[in-house]
Amino acid sequence: MINEIKKDAQERMQKTLESLDHAFAKIRTGRAHPDILGGVRVPAYGDLVPLNQVASVSVEDSRTLKLSVFDKNMIAAVEKAILTSDLGLNPSNAGTVIRVPMPALTEETRKGYTKQARAEAENARVAVRNIRRDALAQLKDLSKEKEISEDDERRAADEVQKLTDKFVALVDKALEAKETDLMAV
């Protein structure tokens, strides 16, 4: 019982960390990265589809993304979808491919993205703490129903707290790496 609760808490905390990584990937740095366009949706085939379903995204150089659109009739729609996204990118159509140059970040935009990264990290910390709260509540319920002793509950609560501390430290480490990446000129 106790091991199942700890294992579940650890799995949920790991998913929170993965979610944070995805959120950080969407925050633009000065360098080109295909994940930046991960949230862009393109009107195609009567529906909004993710960009990666109508084009392949690759890194041409450190500041340019190159999109190869599968259906040449979709080039204008892909270009418009990138322009209307809130990423602040200006794609240029080169006939069969679309190039998306990454504009250099100003000090102000760097600070804004850093603030956004800190907010994402804080959301991840809160999620980890909520998982801890749920696990501790489950342990307390087991103790109340006399399925485990109070000593077992205390020991398990200490282990859950150590797990929480570990994942909060990992969140802080990921935030520090992202902030370093954002502030690098």
Higher pLDDT, 32 or 153: 153
Higher pLDDT, 95 or 134: 134
**Greatest distance between any 2 Cα atoms in the chain:** 72
Query: What is the phi/psi pair of residue 56, to 5°?
Result: -100, 135
User: Distance between CA atoms of 83 and 48, rounded to whole angstroms?
Assistant: 15
Q: Is residue 139 domain-shared with residue 178, that is, in the same domain?
A: yes
Q: What is the pLDDT of residue 157?
A: 92
Q: Is residue 18 domain-shared with residue 82, that is, in the same domain?
A: no
What are the CA-CA distances from residue 63 to residues 69, 87, 89, 104 (Å)?
20, 15, 12, 9
pTM (predicted TM-score) = 0.73
**Which range of residues forms the domain containing residue 116?**
2-26+106-183
74-117 pLDDT, tens digit each: 888 888 888 888 777 888 888 888 888 887 778 888 888 899 99
Higher pLDDT, 28 or 162: 162
β-sheet bridge partners, residue 65 = 59, 100
State yes or no: pLDDT of 122 exceeds 90: yes
Q: Which of 51, 71, 101 is the last residue of a domain?
A: 101
Overall number of domains in the chain = 2
Q: Which of 72, 101, 130 is the last residue of a domain?
A: 101
Q: What is the CATH number of the domain that holds 135?
A: 1.10.132.20
Q: What is the CATH number of the domain that holds 74?
A: 3.30.1360.40
